[in-house]
A and B are shown apart, each in its own frame.
Chain A
């Protein structure tokens, strides 16, 4: 599995064992955060990521499960934090909190917690994670803010834990400013528990291996991953590839233009030509743009090595300052995913010119991530995100997948747990027939989720979706998937505004299906028939799109 590199001193078996163990530690930290957390966006949506860093803040390993967007941001933000804190002021037991959108992940709600790891008095590395906090004040997370000041507290880089104990001033500040302080502070404790789990395992590991720190091992691991990525990039024909697409936007469509340059063993993505920053909360800061851009590049290159900071070295991303992908303060950012989750599609379309058999048709992104707020049937206040995924794009050799977390690996909101905690009745959560784009290989289906308010007080609902008028497109002759829909009592509502849901109201959401791949006329008859028997495709669509029944 691991490539042999000349400069590596350790034999590959030993390096492999050590490397995999570090990954296992990151996995254990991930499970710790998941299991200790209080917010449903963590426990049900997996909206967080953990990773391990060396003394210089370089990301050595990332876990098996995490959000590529968060992991890409961590690769930049932890190095930034490490650079900005004088080494001699770092203390064992302290943990630093970062939520500045322009330095972290592009949204105040994402809390990045960085813990220096000490073996005795020696700094050996950093544990870090980023987790979406349920509420930091301001308006409910949404797309309709006009400045970031509406979106909650922006904190300076500061210690959240001092000597292992909560920083009382910060905790009190958060408590006073959050609608759900117990959940937010409980999650912060879970974030610390995850970093301390990594600390415990790394220190045991260093003792067992008789290594003073992670430096030497980190250098080897990063080198192996970098070389694997460079080799993988050489398998993509060099050249300039351009693509563009348009999204619904808030009040007006957003244009995303990518210029992908593959040169020898490097890739540069330039977003010149992209729309200027938007007056509403759908802007995406440069760290997050970077993360959502390197992710599809790795998917296409598929390096024969585990992914870490080394993988990212041959990749460069630039977006014009003042654009929707690199906004200036105080741009509003609350629904950045309504733009960022299109980036993989525009990258795939560009690379389809170079490696048409290694990309997929448009996915049903962005995931619907509405925020629901109100008072539960148990009398407690809640502000919680819901996760509804669309279809995953059709492939050159196989159908897409229905309802899959992509590009962020969100899990879907479960029905029974949700109803046990929130005053709603979910009336339907089901695939939508004909929502997968037709093609030789059909797109994955989107889902309909219909729920009704069962409470006597109004609920606040920040809608947060896109693709109402821009459905996911197909590739190589494949057709588009179905667009998204959002209806309140049967009437369409704005896809990014915050609305009030009155007692008894019925809210209906449909996530987009994904695009198809290849000419639908060439789809195997047996596959069309199976789709019909299972109701993934209706008879009228089969006749119209696949010519079924004509021959």
Chain B
């Protein structure tokens, strides 16, 4: 197995709303081969298989020689946003069925009278109260009443429910009622999907737990169907390796865990891209970055500080107010802290009732696609504008595999131009400008939430549409340095191959540090360690490559919130406990500025991150596609109000160390880099393009 991993080929796949990107890493040739095909929204598996076929063909390799295929997908997220999940019911403690709806009762905007909250994934009619009760100590106050389960199960049968969430009060302290209800449900309905909260999230706090469990139940049938079709399709092509997914924590998980807790796949695609960015940044020695990923459907932005992306223990999906915390559905799963907006190549441009130009958030996606794809779309999109402005080469989009139709783009944008009473290129420019503005605005909000001055970061750009738009976003934000890594167009797929196997395990135990039972703490840790090692074994991580990172959530007695204190080992002696006390004080001080002398300290939760090794970054990230290099050409490109004759180069014709200045277009199969007038650039040894924008000169296109 170890030998196999080293020598064998690996596939990374990122399924976006518009494109499915596939990257093959071939250790024999030390080469990356990549492909970009249209996503097949009705069944994303087909797109993946198309992409895999294309790449394997280009590499003249066989799937039988591929050791693993790791992929990221936004399928779970989209199912929740678009409400395409299963018909779901909730069984909950009688008298508490509205917790899912009333949530925290907290307003997310202090002054708005038009607040709206997302409709719960389970409507009230399918939230069924069950007679049972467990108290905070885990003691059964009212035994589970089978007579109250029967009418609930009848209702489930009558309503054609496909998936059920079971969430009872205090189940983290005693899960027997949930287990019993789940067992009876499965007994009567063998095909029903059942998620129970103590398994998904064994944690105190009824609202985050019920919200997460319900979301899990809601996406489970869809995700399981998808994964089994994927396994089938791949094995039909001779694939015998390991199929894994990127979880929202940026690590990889196998299919069995994904089937059990599919909600941990929410935002898995973007997490892979961010992981890759952070790694690349560290390789480049650039630790403070703004990662900017613009694909066909959405743009994602994530601040990376000291080489690491931000983390959040609670993630919100389907926000109704895109920048407002509290306007979405909370999921208590560890995830990369990023901001996502509906701005991509496929974003549709239209005039609103005031005659103002709006771009997005809806996207033409892969079907019907932008007008210029010529596959059915006729609405004007960002990609149509990019084409008319001369940024894109109609004969070399996706390396020429997807020829673009300029006439259709002109016709679509022409409709806007009429409404705006402007020439077509001016209308196209307005679309380009508007989408840059909304991405810059999102970046500003995201950076500001962290208190960071966005101007002091560098923009690391990727995704198919990213390198076309990066300069316009950067200049609006006052960012002068833009980095376009090699393989930028397929970086999220590549990120899948850079992710570690990773499991986040936790166990709550409340213990006073003054009266700490060291043996009990070590027993808890031992249990976690055993589980972690077993999971890593299952994932094929050899014992020598295991990384176990321990930490303890601690607080002053009486506080509600904890700080996470990383420890090298779980304390075993009185001296180690004293050291732990000092370490807590240090972490608390770093976070909040001061300690509180004389206040008793508690351990609340023991945590373990069980991870495999960080896969190495291949020597060269340079992308090899089968397309032959072409000679430099010149074409008119619109920057603002005027067209400038702009040289066009192929990326593979640039050698390391080469310097250049804008205006310039650099094309490669995975995407197009636009270098605006006044900017200078160079290529580094890893193949990354570094652009330095003229100070403010390029605002509004120079």
A: residues with CB less than 8 A from B are 1, 13-14, 16-17, 20-21, 23-25, 27-28, 32, 34-38, 40, 43-44, 46, 64-66, 68, 164, 182-183, 186, 189, 192-193, 196-197, 200-201, 208, 295, 298-300, 302, 307, 358-360, 387, 389, 392, 395, 398, 401-406, 409-412, 414-417, 419-420, 425, 427-431, 447, 450, 533-536
Contacts and interface: CB of A to CB of B under 8 A. Distances in A.
A332 to B, nearest CB: 28
* Closest 9 A/B residue pairs (Cβ): A428-B95, A43-B560, A412-B105, A534-B124, A420-B136, A20-B448, A35-B561, A24-B451, A403-B102
B106 interface: yes
A43 B125 contact: no
B327 to A, nearest CB: 12
Contact of B136 (A24, A300, A416): A416
A10 B630 CA distance: 48
Given A25-B451, A186-B559, A410-B105, 6 more contacts: A65-B110, A302-B111, A307-B110, A410-B106, A419-B170, A533-B125
Contacts of B98: 402-403, 429-431, 447
Nearest to A209: B453
A200 B444 contact: no
A534 B123 contact: yes
Nearest to B588: A36
Contacts of A307: 110-111
Interface in B189-207: 204-207
A267 to B, nearest CB: 15
Contacts of A360: 113
A304 B213 CA distance: 39
Contact of A208 (B114, B124, B453): B453
B140 to A, nearest CB: 12
A487 B469 CA distance: 63
Interface in B445-500: 445, 448-456, 476, 478
Contacts of B659: none
Contacts of B95: 427-430, 450
Nearest to B102: A403
Contacts of A387: 105
A447 B102 contact: yes
A192 B596 CA distance: 11
Given A17-B444, A409-B107, A64 B325 contact: yes
B599 interface: yes
B97 interface: yes
A299 B206 CA distance: 32
B592 A200 contact: no
A21 B456 CA distance: 13
Given A414-B207, A430-B98, A431-B102, A183 B111 contact: no
Contact of A419 (B136, B556, B559): B136
A341 B3 CA distance: 71
Nearest to A413: B105
A193 B105 contact: no
Interface of B: 95-99, 101-102, 104-107, 110-117, 123-125, 133, 135-136, 141, 169-170, 204-207, 325, 441, 444-445, 448-456, 476, 478, 556, 558-561, 592-594, 596, 599
Interface centre among A359, A409, A416 (most CB of B within 10 A): A416
B450 A535 contact: no
B415 to A, nearest CB: 29
B125 A21 contact: no
A535 B128 CA distance: 12
Contacts of A46: 106
A404 B112 CA distance: 13
B445 A298 contact: no
A64 B135 CA distance: 35
Nearest to A358: B113
A409 B104 CA distance: 10
Nearest to B589: A193
Contacts of A428: 95-96
Given A37-B559, A302-B111, A534-B123, A24 B450 contact: yes
Nearest to B478: A13
A411 B206 CA distance: 14
Contact of A429 (B96, B441, B444): B96
A37 B560 contact: yes
A193 B590 CA distance: 11
Nearest to B561: A35
B205 A27 contact: no
Contact of B113 (A36, A395, A425, A535): A395
Contacts of A68: 110-111
A17 B107 contact: no
A338 B169 CA distance: 32
B105 A20 contact: no
Contacts of B449: 24, 27
B374 to A, nearest CB: 38
Contacts of B599: 182, 186
B107 A405 contact: yes
A89 B662 CA distance: 59
Contacts of A164: 594
B105 A411 contact: yes
18 contacts: A20-B444, A21-B451, A21-B452, A21-B453, A24-B449, A25-B451, A36-B559, A183-B558, A186-B556, A298-B111, A302-B111, A358-B113, A359-B113, A412-B105, A414-B206, A428-B95, A429-B98, A535-B125
A13 B450 CA distance: 18
A535 B126 CA distance: 11
B97 A430 contact: yes
A454 to B, nearest CB: 8
A533 B126 CA distance: 10
Contact of B451 (A28, A302, A417, A427): A28
A387 B106 CA distance: 11
B453 A17 contact: yes
Given A17-B454, A21-B451, A193-B593, A405 B125 contact: no
Contacts of A200: 593
Contacts of B451: 21, 24-25, 28, 201
Contacts of B445: 20
A387 B599 CA distance: 27
B448 A21 contact: yes
Contact of B594 (A193, A395, A409, A410): A193
Interface centre among B205, B207, B448, B454 (most CB of A within 10 A): B448
Contact of A17 (B101, B113, B455, B556): B455
B70 to A, nearest CB: 35
A405 B594 CA distance: 32
Nearest to A32: B592
A107 to B, nearest CB: 21
B476 A13 contact: yes
Nearest to A399: B116
A503 to B, nearest CB: 16
A166 to B, nearest CB: 9
B444 A535 contact: no
Contact of B205 (A197, A398, A414, A447): A414
A14 B476 CA distance: 10
Contacts of A193: 592-594
Contact of B105 (A16, A182, A183, A405): A405
B593 A186 contact: no
A535 B125 CA distance: 7
A406 B112 CA distance: 11
A402 to B, nearest CB: 6
B206 A415 contact: yes
Contacts of A420: 136, 204
B556 A38 contact: yes
Contacts of B102: 402-403, 412, 431, 447
B592 A416 contact: no
B684 to A, nearest CB: 28
A416 B125 CA distance: 24
Contacts of B556: 38, 186
